[in-house]
Amino acid sequence: MTLENIKLDIDYVRSQFPTFKDPLAKDWLFAENAGGSYVPKNVIQKLNNFMTSTKVQPYAEYPMSKIAGENMDKATKIFADMINAKKNEILIGGSTSINLYVLSNALKHFIKKGDEVIVTNQDHEANISPWRRLSKSGAKIIEWKFNKKNGELEIDDLKKILNKNTKILAVTHCSNIVGSINSLQQICELAHKFNTIVIGDGVSYAPHGFPDVKELGVDFYTFSLYKTYGPHLGLLYGREEILKKLPNQNHEFLDKDYPYNINPGGPNHEELVSLIGINEYFENVYNHHFKNKKLSIREKIMKLNNLISYHEELIANPILEYIDNRDDLVLIGKNKIQNKNRAPTISFFSKKKSSKKISEILVKNKIATRNDNFYAWRCLKALDIDNEDGVVRISLVHYNSLKDTNKIINALKKI
Ligand SMILES: Cc1ncc(COP(=O)(O)O)c(C=O)c1O
């Protein structure tokens, strides 16, 4: 079956998200998805059920508690299956920023003077600051700078800075500004020749398709569940061989209990359980489009990823083309999505008007978006863009429609 044979039933998809019928939100075109996505009804139901029937301390023998604990385990197992990890290789923490902060505190124990740590200037600060801080433990920080002409991180530049002293490489899977998808697979292959630990930030990637962490070859991978149709939580994957060796960041008695030993405070119970709703939603979308029910969770995710990518290409490419063709607007990153080379996260600025002004015009047209640096301030600085005014970012996901595309282009025409 080719991608084009089955098209995403956008009406079905949108019917799963109560926000599209909500009195406050229903008249708005939502294009700030890279900031945080809407949630399907299954997530809301799971959260509601947990709070109503099982909002007690989990893992005791009475039914409310037993079921709470079972559902927490179930949610973790489902999400591990969705990204092809083992259940004890993922943890659910408060956010990606917190998860990476704690991880860097754990990894710093392996850093000695003369070790090198590579960070990029394309990443969100969440995957830079925790690693730059390792300079206090004696590490030399090396910046993998992107090519200013096209916004891309070039593999040839990485080859020049990787060496036997490189202990850690922190790099985004997809930039939340440039939108390009970096080949983590290729990056990991290169880095592992030097036994470098690779930390991939998947926050801007995962909303467009849950990755296979084993196929990517990453040692750690993180994404924010509030951008993948869930509540405000962050998922961190870690390869078991490394996780086992990390020093405890939690209570003393949890010393050998990975991955909880790098998840101080543990997960938010009700929100963790509501993650089951994300999978239920994707199961529903799968069943609506495909016949073969016997596939594994991961196999279904792969089919859905293709379906979603094709739809995203369809709705984003006309906007990319329109902005790219305007003399007064400067598009950042590639001007076309082709073979999943880019996310529909579209950043641009104007040569004539401030990003704030453009954002105001879009908002007046009931298009929910904003101007900002989106915490990728090093990326904007390298592109000589004012970090206060920032860029305008139109970020779409699979529940956006071609109708949205036309509305966005019509609003841009008024600028
Ligand atoms: C690419 C990227 N990485 C990391 C983060 C930080 O995620 P969190 O808000 O879960 O800390 C964000 C948040 O916007 C992001 O866009």
Q: What is the CATH number for 358? A: 3.90.1150.10
State whether the beta carbon of 234 lies less than 6 angstroms from ligand 1.
yes
* 161-178: pLDDT as tens digits: 999 999 999 999 999 999
For residue 127, report the distance from its CA to the centre of ligand 1, in Å: 8
Q: What is the pLDDT of residues 205-229, one digit of tens each?
A: 999 999 999 999 999 999 999 999 9
Of the candidates 148, 103, 102, 95, the one whose C-alpha atom is nearest the C-alpha of residue 121 is 148
Residue 7 in tokens: 């098209």
Residues 71-80: tens digit of each pLDDT:
999 999 999 9
Residue to substitute in 103, 153, 176, 228 for testing ligand 1 pocket (most ligand atoms within 8 angstroms of CB):
176
Best residue for ligand 1 mutational test, from 32, 97, 102 (most atoms within 8 Å of Cβ): 97
Count of domains observed in the chain: 2
Flag whether 275 is in a domain: no
Q: Are residues 100 and 243 in the same domain?
A: yes
Confidence check: pLDDT of 18 > 70: yes
Cα(379) to centroid(ligand 1), Å: 14
Domain-located, residue 145? yes
Q: Give the Cα separation of 121 and 384 in Å (integer).
A: 13
Question: Which DSSP string corresponds to 24-83?
Answer: TTTTPEE-BTTT-----HHHHHHHHHHHHH--S-SSSSSHHHHHHHHHHHHHHHHHHHHT
Q: Which domain holds residue 228?
A: 90-266
The tens digit of pLDDT for each residue in 318-369 reads: 999 999 999 999 999 999 999 999 999 999 999 999 999 999 999 999 999 9
Q: What is the mean pLDDT of the chain?
A: 97
Whether residues 249 and 134 fall in one domain? yes
- Of the listed ranges 4-8, 90-94, 111-115, 383-387, the least confidently predicted one is 4-8
How large a percentage of the chain has pLDDT more than 70? 99
190 & 234 share domain? yes
Quote the CA–CA distance of 193 and 403 in Å, as a whole number.
48
Region at 73 (left for phi over 0; alpha for psi -120 to 50; beta for the rest): alpha
Same domain, 25 and 120: no
Q: Are 259 and 351 in the same domain?
A: no
CA distance 142 to 138: 13
In short, whether 203's Cβ falls inside 6 Å of ligand 1 is yes
| Residue 283 domain-assigned (yes or no) | no
Cα 395 to middle of ligand 1, angstroms:
14
Strand residues in 125-165 grouped as ranges (E): 140-144
Angle, helix 297-325 to helix 63-82, in steps of 10 degrees: 60
The answer to whether residues 314 and 209 belong to one domain is no
Q: What is the pLDDT of residue 2?
A: 44
81 falls within a domain: no
Q: Are both 249 and 326 inside the same structural domain?
A: no
Task: Out of 246, 266, 286, pick the residue that ends a domain.
Answer: 266
Residues 172 and 237 in one domain: yes
> For the residues 291-302, what does the mean pLDDT come to?
97
Work out the end-to-end distance of the chain between its first and last CA atoms, rounded to an integer number of angstroms. Answer: 42
Classify residue 120 by burial, with Cβ atoms within 10 Å: 0-12, 13-18, 19+.
buried
Q: Does an H or E element contain 297, and which?
A: helix 297-325
Q: Is 334 inside a domain boundary?
A: yes
Q: Is residue 47 part of a domain?
A: no
Of the pLDDT bands very low, low, confident and very high (cuts 50, 70, 90), residue 294 is: very high
Once rounded to an integer, what is the mean pLDDT over residues 24-31?
A: 98
- The pLDDT of 228-250, averaged and rounded, is 97
Q: Which residues contact 97 (CB under 8 A, 6 or more apart)?
A: 126, 234
Inside any domain, residue 274: no
Say yes or no to pLDDT of 391 above 50.
Answer: yes
Banded pLDDT at 45 (limits 50, 70, 90): very high
Instruction: Quote the pLDDT of residue 19.
Output: 98
Q: What average pLDDT does this structure show over 181-197?
A: 98
200 located within any domain? yes
**Banded pLDDT at 63 (limits 50, 70, 90):** very high
The predicted pLDDT at position 339 comes to 92
Residues 341 and 400 in one domain: yes
With cut-offs at 50, 70 and 90, classify the pLDDT of residue 5: confident
Which atom of ligand 1 is nearest the CA belonging to 98? Answer: 11
* Same-domain pairing of 256 and 111: yes
* 49 pLDDT higher than 80: yes
Going from the Cα of 376 to the center of ligand 1, the distance in angstroms, rounded, reads 9
Report the separation in Å between the CA atom of 284 and the middle of ligand 1, taken as the mean of its atom positions: 27
Instruction: Answer yes or no: is pLDDT of 1 > 70.
Output: no
Is residue 249 within 8 A of residue 264, CB to CB? The reply is: yes
The last residue of one of the domains, among 212, 247, 266, is: 266
Distance CA 345, CA 342 (A): 8
Q: What is the CATH number of the domain that holds 252?
A: 3.40.640.10
> Does one domain contain both 19 and 142?
no
Q: Probe ligand 1: pick from 131, 224, 235, 372, max atoms within 8 Å of CB?
A: 224
For residue 3, is pLDDT > 80?
A: no
Segment 282-291 shows an average pLDDT of 98
Same domain for 298 and 261: no
Beta partners for 199?
170, 220
CB 95 near ligand 1, within 6 Å: yes
